[in-house]
Structure 1
Amino acid sequence: MRSTGTAVLVGCGALFGLSYVLVRDVVPATGPVGVTVVRTLIGGTVLLLAARAAGQRPRWRRWRSYLMLGALSAAVPFSLISLSMLSLNAGTAAVLNASSPLFALGFDVLQRRRRPGWGQLAGLALAIAGVSLAMASRGLHLGDGGAVGVPAGQAGAAVFAYGGFFAARHFPDEAPAALAAGQQLAACVLLAPALLLVPVRAAPTGGLVLRLAVLGVAGSALAYLLFYRLVAAEGPARAANVNLLVPLFGVLWGWALLSEPVPPVSVAGMAATVAGLFLVLRERPAAG
């Protein structure tokens, strides 16, 4: 991966990691559907304004494809991952989310009909082991909610991974800002009716509104703008590796914003994750 692509990957991971911390904070009050609707509405609106300012706009005549992309890349995985956080601790939820690159690798193998390299497999194994080690201090146990939380977290990771492939196949020439705007607004449209069945759990407060605004702008608008740039430049399989960085940045954001301790075992896990990610990214993707 080129240095520009690596910088975009790291920036995207940092923003998704921030969203991980914010979702964990607000989901008890808003519920999984509520937080997803609000963040996609804010993110989509910001992206639409940015795209129009740049002379771009989503191709709304392809609204069916946008609705499918919104479901695959935001509505379904956001809701499933938020649901997993209601029943699992932060460490377990993060490790489940980090399995997304494995699903992406599987989709890539099926699509290209080629076997992954040993370096790539070793790198993924090392990186996921590093994530598990880094999150060990947050606890890695299933508890009473494992029967719901684990399948929800795994399904969310798999759907998110496939969403990148859908975007690459159906929107190869769409500008990243326009694509991300359409995807976020489509996800909002899909999920908004569900609020009638699963209403927001608590009345909004100033602090809650502020956290949701940051989540929408940083964790949805900017993060997905970078993500679709990465998909266009590096392909969906390599873009999915951003999920390996999300738990690590979640730990760092927790330390920076919430004064959460970072024990030595977490530092060792971060180092192992970075080393594994290096092995994955140094292998050139096969043409297909």
Structure 2
Amino acid sequence: MRYAAPVWSKELQKREPGRLLERVQRKMALRVARAFRTVRYETATLLAGLTPICLLLDEDARVYQRLSAVNRTDTRANIRKQERQATIEQWQQQWDAEADTSRHTRWAHRVLPNIGSWQSRKHGDVSFHLCQVLSGHGFFRDYLCRNGFTSSPDCQRCSGVPETAEHAMFECPRFAEVRQQLLGEGITDPVRPENLQQHLLRDAESWSRICEAAKRITASLQQAWDDERAALAAHGNEQHFEEVADLEARRAEIRRARNDRRNASRRAARARQRELQRAGRPPSPPPSPRTAARRADLRLRQARFRARRRQAI
């Protein structure tokens, strides 16, 4: 996607080309980070360690301009290093601006506030289980309920408390033993959402402990959800499945209505554009005598052909 970027990167000032590239990169990021497909683009690229494509193309254009300068003094490596630092700063500004876009993005920004240190780490791969904790998209009942997979967002152990990533990882008494063993609960510096990034980046051993804690907790939640689904299927809880089906039907109706409004708006815009083009288009000149004669001869031949066809029938 970065081929000859300095030539066409100015087109990214238009929103649609940038959105097209982001859609492609988002699919890549979801697979690299092993994330749920509902994770937003900004969070997915951060967890996957991929620089947002629009920022990366802009960086390539800046590097090319500096390398093409007549009075250049810096080496190619220094120029790339300086522009990469500028890209990280722009990325940090965008990440801070997107912090309140959604509740899950707010959570991801809370646990991973510093992009520079996260991108420059020397150890640690984001696993499927750690990705659930960092993104908030996982086998948490609050997330499952919002997507129509469970009837209640509340924790099965803590009545009236939504089972979010924060609650399951740092608060729920079901996993107190896991936190004591792996997250240092009960000591002077336990792992909390505010210092999770600091503990992850401390060393490889700390990263491994947090990944193991995330694996045990999310695997237990996944097993609980599988057992609940099996119990519902065994007891033939038709009402539950009807509620889920109704919810999906309502969401499908909302999507259809949104698509209809969008398509109607696009058709109206295209119609206005055609009217403007017609209004500014000069009238067509009359055909030349030779062209007029050829057209008349063609019409005569067509009339004779149709007459012969009628006689044959």
State the TM-score, normalizing by the size of structure 2: 0.26
Which protein is bigger by CA-based radius of gyration?
A: 2
Highest RCO, 1 vs 2 (Cα 8 Å, sep ≥ 6): 1
State the TM-score, normalizing by the size of structure 1: 0.28
